[in-house]
Amino acid sequence: MSVPAAIAPAPANPALPYLPLTRPTIDEETIAGVCEVLRSGWITSGPNVKALEGKLSEYFGGRPVRVFNSGTCTMEIALRIAGIGAGHEVITTPLSWVATSNVILEVGATPVFVDIDPVTRNLDLNLVEGAITPATRAIIPVDLAGLPVDRDRLYAIAKKHNLRVVEDAAQSMGTTWNGKRIGAFGDFVSVSFHPNKNITTIEGGCLVMNTEAEAKLAEQYRLQGVVRSGFDGMEVEVVGGKFNLTDVAARVGLGQLPRLQEFNDRRRELARAYFAAFAARDAKALGLGLPVEDLTQSNWHMFQVVLPSGLKRAEVMAALHAAGIGAGVHYPAIHLFAIYRRLGWNPGDFPIAEAVCRSILTLPLFPTMSGADVARVVEALVGIVKGRV
């Protein structure tokens, strides 16, 4: 969809290349591998899917892993495996991609939002227990921008109240908590491989589970509930969907996974450069809210700032675009979308999340960026903010 010229004027300096919000890095070996898959004639789920699941299982410490065509259906399937449906409540955050709560509605349950921590911008675990009722069955936390939710406190709460946890780790592939890899422990862990994530399968995701029985059930939900036996045996035991990953996509993932550490290391270097550049320009004095400076655990999926109160985000984004720089919004407050307002949520219900969601801005961050690119972004943003505060 094109952007109206009044909102997105042409870049002021056409000599500088446009710096997008994100860009995947796919090497020539992977591209050649995809061509081999296409020539093989087996392009839907097949040997590459099996190979990717095996590699991911190794990465997550031997836990059962199945891949899917999105990191959304993975959460829905986890809820279904956990037996969550009509009459049940699931606690989650209002600051996430709307898929996080949509999957709760999809299984017939009710989302219960809890405000965010103003520092981490993740679900405020201090408020979670106050939201638990006899109908509560699960918690879906989100590692916003790759910053991990406190897993020790999270699982202590879940254990105390006998709740399942579906970790929305869509953004946290390669993130750690106290030296432990996210996904290598815990309950259900859902990961996204969308093109804007730290590694990609073009579109896709995976679900890390606890037992082979859960994995078998996930396979049924993945493809119409079908169970096959022998040459011609087929049975359908549950209502499944069409959520399988193709071998083409899986081959991309097999090329991406070995480079995850390299990509994340580079992202941390770029995050470090952002902090240094903002500090040199005294960005905090301008009222710019910077993220938590976690340069060891976070995978730095995104670098997000919160603009000073009163500043119009759309105007800032338009000015950045005019300077040849992309920016994004991750995310609007979920509970203020029309579908959730019809369920009874209102402005003012979660003031911290609403304030952050009004002003949060995602800046370019991807492995092939340079230090000069970071300096260019910071110089442009600080100049725009100075001209408006």
Catalytic residue chosen out of the listed positions 180, 197, 216, 242: 197
Q: Enumerate long-range contacts of 234-242, CB under 8 Å, 24 or more apart.
A: 238/80, 241/73
Q: CA 138 to CA 307: how far, in whole Å?
A: 33
Residue 1 has a pLDDT of: 37
Residues 6+ apart with CB under 8 A from 64: 57, 208, 209, 210, 211, 212, 214, 215
Phi, psi of 294 (to 5 degrees): -95, 100
Residues 6+ apart with CB under 8 A from 235: 226, 227, 229
Average pLDDT per run of 10 along the chain, which is 389 residues long?
Answer: 42 79 98 98 96 98 98 98 98 98 98 98 98 98 98 98 98 98 98 98 98 98 96 96 98 98 98 98 94 97 96 97 98 98 98 98 98 98 90
Residue 16 has a pLDDT of: 87
Alpha helices in 224-364 (DSSP H): 247-256, 260-280, 313-322, 338-341, 351-359
Residue 6 has a pLDDT of: 40
- If we measure between CA atoms, which residue out of 84, 51, 104, 76 comes closest to residue 190? 76
For the chain, list the domains and their CATH numbers.
28-259 (3.40.640.10), 260-386 (3.90.1150.10)
197 is catalytic: yes
Whether the Cβ atoms of residue 187 and residue 167 lie closer than 8 Å to each other: yes
30, 46, 211, 331, 343 from 105: Cα distances, Å: 37, 32, 26, 19, 11
Residue in this structure with the two tokens 């082979």, named with its chain if needed = 212
Residue 11 has a pLDDT of: 55
Residue 13 has a pLDDT of: 63
What length does the chain have? Answer: 389
pTM of the model: 0.95
